Amino acid sequence: MKTRLLIFVLMLAGFSSWAQQDAQYTMYMYNTININPAYAGSRGVLSVFGLHRSQWVGLDGAPVTNSVSVNSPIGESNLGIGVSFLNDKIGPTTENNISADISYTIRTDEIHKLSFGIKGTANLFNLDRSKLNPENQNDPSLVGFSNEFSPNVGAGVYWHTDKYYIGLSVPNFIETTRYSDNDVSINKERMNYYLIGGYVFELNPIWKLKPAVLAKAITGAPLQVDASLNALYDDRFMLGAAYRWDAAVSFMAGFQITPGLFLGYGYDLETTRLRNYNSGSHEIFLRYEFFSNKNKIISPRFF
């Protein structure tokens, strides 16, 4: 007989799969490399990104995500590369992903670029049995998993200019079964399909406005849509708000500390019944970009 806590965790994982089988981000528009490998090198500089997300604070076993990524173009070529590390914790389970991205970009005209990307991922899955409290301590079907390895591969396309962008991606093509009982999958990582887009409006020399949207589809789950609106003042201060359809409202702020260093913060407030059991979700990130005299820009790009 399975433990009640395990059932809760699997239910939580199941609930998460409705909205976020892949790790979920409020400020996805600044973290595109994690969901679309074609983004690698698109900013034209070496970019280092670090993020921490605490979801549903106050709820035991709620997701906690940490990620670090580096991406860069390769010299004057059309190639871009990226490397990322993701640590995702939900209850007694921990996943560590190490991914490598490579992209190839072609110019479709004077202002448009079309990038194609491939992502390769090594996943290590852990289930800490010591954090469970089985009703039957001798249940042979309840075991822990330590660094259970599974590979994956994904791909994406990214069409962009300096003012707008649209991307389509599937970070993981292989549907990995994490736990099964009597040949029935209880926790299965399904393919996540992402469609992302945004446009930057220059209202005047001081203000820029960027609406953005992310749609995520998972087989057997409702379509998830995130819509956001960010305002940038004087290329330094960012304020924004977002709505995750039938799930949460979000508020965002950011500050361009130096020409290379950007700090961002986001807060989610649940709109579902889950709001009665947590105090919201927090997300913070730092991005640092290395500019040479050749690629130094006067105004940082808004995406």
The pLDDT value given to residue 221: 79
Query: How would residue 10 be classed by pLDDT, with cut points 50, 70 and 90?
Result: very low
Under CATH, domain 36-173+186-289 is a member of which superfamily? monomeric porin ompg (2.40.160.40)
Percent of the chain with pLDDT over 90: 65
- Tell me: the pLDDT tens digits for 37-56? 999 999 999 999 999 999 99
Assigned token pair, 207:
């203000």
Q: What is the pLDDT of residue 170?
A: 96
What digits encode the pLDDT tens for the residues 157-192?
A: 999 998 999 999 999 998 877 655 555 445 567 789
What is the predicted pLDDT for the residue at 9? 46
SS3 20: helix
Mean pLDDT of 248-256: 96
Averaged pLDDT score across all residues of the chain: 86
Is residue 88 very low, low, confident or very high in pLDDT (cuts 50, 70, 90)?
A: very high
DSSP state of 61: T
Place 298 in a pLDDT band, splitting at 50, 70 and 90: very low
Confidence of residue 91 (pLDDT cuts 50, 70, 90): confident
56: left (phi over 0), alpha (psi -120 to 50) or beta: left
Q: Is the dihedral of CA 23, 25, 30, 32 positive or negative?
A: positive
Structural domain boundaries of the chain? 36-173+186-289
For the chain, what percent of residues have pLDDT higher than 70? 82
Q: What is the pLDDT of residue 1?
A: 37
Q: Residue 61 and residue 223: Cα distance in Å, rounded?
A: 25
Determine the average pLDDT of the residues in 124-132: 80
Residue pLDDT, tens place only, 60-69: 889 999 999 9
Short-list 55, 179, 192, 58, CA closest to 126: 179
Residue 181: count other Cβ atoms within 10 Å of its Cβ. Answer: 10
Give pLDDT, residue 181.
54
Q: Residue 20's pLDDT is what?
A: 43
25: helix, strand or coil: coil
Predicted TM-score (pTM) of the model is 0.85
pLDDT at 85 over 90: yes
Q: What distance in Å separates the CA atoms of residue 115 and residue 79, rounded to the nearest whole number?
A: 9
* Cα four-point dihedral sign 219, 9, 179, 118: positive
Q: Write out the H or E segment, with its range, that includes residue 19.
A: helix 4-20
The pLDDT assigned to 102 comes to 98
How far apart are alpha carbons 41 and 47 in whole angstroms? 8
